[in-house]
Chain A
């Protein structure tokens, strides 16, 4: 363990020396044999980002779990958090190695561009490495004082660690978002103001989107790991522990995932504000196919999670009362996602073409029905949670009124979305967008109301029966693994999308890509690379789990 951290610091210092000691090179591009310079940098960058997400997600996740354990006075949470924290030193090392490899590769394959970036952001590079160093030291102290410090102080230290990690991410985000939406530079690329280069249009949306996505990523990875252990577990105690762990990981993952569409739209709006042509390219031009794929991936994530919760209800004592609603929820989700992934225009052959945009999917292909579909899908997920919660409880008599209120909120959401959808085909586009945003924002108080009513309804209620951890059907666990894989894939896909929105620019509108890789690959080629690096990432993470010995650790005591 100490060795790993030692290696890590050495790698960071070497990388820092490499970054800062680099002289400007005249040659603009070099080539990489076989797969090409772009693909090499792409794969390395994405792998590094996935690992960076992992080492940011695990501490956030671990501290949340530790805090829950502290407030609930439940030993199991604390142990789970600690198990996950033990992955970090090795994960740091892999991240640093990938980061070093990535920077060496990109500096030697794209010398002119990287030299330009380093010139613009020179001060922040010092800050970056300083922060990384501080973060590593804090991690070290945090991990080794788990039992020494008072729990409260240890939690505080964990929060400090997360703040540092988030700051490191912010610095990296400044570089990335600058490439998408440069600010603070002249047309010719000379730096005018570093602070406006950092705080460019997409800086804050990217920060928030990545942070929240990292937390849900941590949750889903945890759930997938638990699923893996559940499937290979032999004793009932083990099964119970990993069932419980999968449940908690999924819960954290899905709650944060629900926030992501909202932040994603903010990201999109900022992109339009920066440059509306870029917005068009991103949403409807050369990159429109990304959204078809994204809809499919998100569908797997949402439906897979819900599938897990529905199957859980098959074994939950007291859930019989609510099981009859589940098929409606599942079909509603399926239909919502079919609408979401409907392409606007799909011409297959001359005979099939008919006359122009299809009256059905041509109309479903634009933004308004998709937003309605997302709202309905989110509502279905929330209802799944509510049913899961209520199944365990005996609803006290005389509180029917709250159920009726809940139903009316749900009905209101559905009616509002249908009405907004109907109007959006009549009114001009500016109004339509405002209506869409309004229905989207309305979801927040609606979900709040539903939960408030639920709290009032179940206040002081009694449990119907004890949850039997460990007897959930094994097929639900495959759902969790598929969700985690899809989550990694979605991150890689949207990372590609964000970078591809720049088209043939290194820095959009400022520095053009004149290499022979300046265009974009066809979507199929891109998905092959994304699938490849997803598999590599999963392999590497499994290796870390294996080498840290978390997989071999025995489960002892503490079960209910």
Chain B
């Protein structure tokens, strides 16, 4: 690739390759992956792709020259590549126009949200001592868990699912900002200490500004003991253990 030629080049010019990579990764993120990536996140990842392409082109002097020749129309190319080059060149103003249009167009979508699955708990959770009878998963009795099953299936299963997989009958309509948690997910309750899970059940998500989920606060319907039994059943059914370190 290093030596420069004035005549027609062999093979695919790096400018075309760069285009294919750029457009290809955009299409991949927005149309191939399902569901598609949010547009802001796509732009963020496109930044990586663009930097990657730039690094690739500037790694050797020869490549820079070839690329400059390509975009300045100095090199003569195979007709197909030449057509592509002209097409892209003509498309650039349209592309910029569209970007400006979509930036200023009035949108009724709710503002973006970087959703935090594990929000900062209030102060009382920080120093909370789990009652001794509920603190060690190894000592959770069968009777307690069986009792928890009743509460779970009455209160929790409609959304979080009988199998603790987050697919209860109600889950289909609760999608924003986040659907009911799948307790089997290794990133969910398996990552949290008991005190945190207790807080989430007790105070729910409706009151928390950071969270804003539709999880009800259960403290008025259930007493502490019932909440603990429910948590025991929840962990047992999901087959995961709370964080203990």
Contacts and interface: CB of A to CB of B under 8 A. Distances in A.
Interface stretch (A127-135, A156-164, A224-232, A349-357): A349-357
Contacts of B244: 430
B210 A286 contact: yes
Given A425-B186, A432-B186, A346 B125 contact: no
Contacts of A429: 186, 190-191, 240-241, 243
B116 interface: yes
A503 B120 contact: yes
Contacts, number: 159
Interface stretch (B48-56, B78-86, B153-161): B48-56
Given A334-B52, A356-B178, A424-B186, A430 B33 contact: no
Contact of B127 (A354, A365, A509): A509
B176 A353 contact: yes
Contacts of A303: 51, 55
A345 interface: yes
A331 interface: yes
Contacts of B196: 277, 280
Contacts of A428: 186, 190, 240-241
B143 interface: no
Nearest to A512: B123
B245 A345 contact: no
Nearest to A273: B245
B112 interface: yes
B109 interface: yes
B179 A277 contact: no
Interface residues of B, number: 57
A6 interface: no
Contacts of A427: 186
A343 interface: yes
A330 B58 CA distance: 12
Nearest to B48: A338
Interface string B29-56: 0000101111111001100110110011
B45 A338 contact: yes
Contacts of B177: 347, 353
A311 interface: yes
B113 interface: yes
Given A331-B52, A353-B176, 13 more contacts: A280-B121, A284-B117, A284-B118, A285-B116, A286-B116, A310-B59, A334-B55, A337-B48, A346-B115, A357-B178, A366-B187, A430-B244, A432-B186
10 contacts: A276-B243, A285-B120, A330-B52, A345-B117, A346-B112, A349-B38, A353-B177, A426-B186, A428-B241, A430-B241
Interface of B: 33, 35-41, 44-45, 48-49, 51-52, 55-56, 58-61, 107, 109-110, 112-121, 125-127, 166, 175-179, 185-187, 190-193, 195-196, 210, 240-241, 243-245
List 8 tightest A-B contacts by C-beta distance, closest first: A354-B35, A348-B38, A349-B109, A285-B120, A345-B115, A356-B179, A334-B52, A284-B118
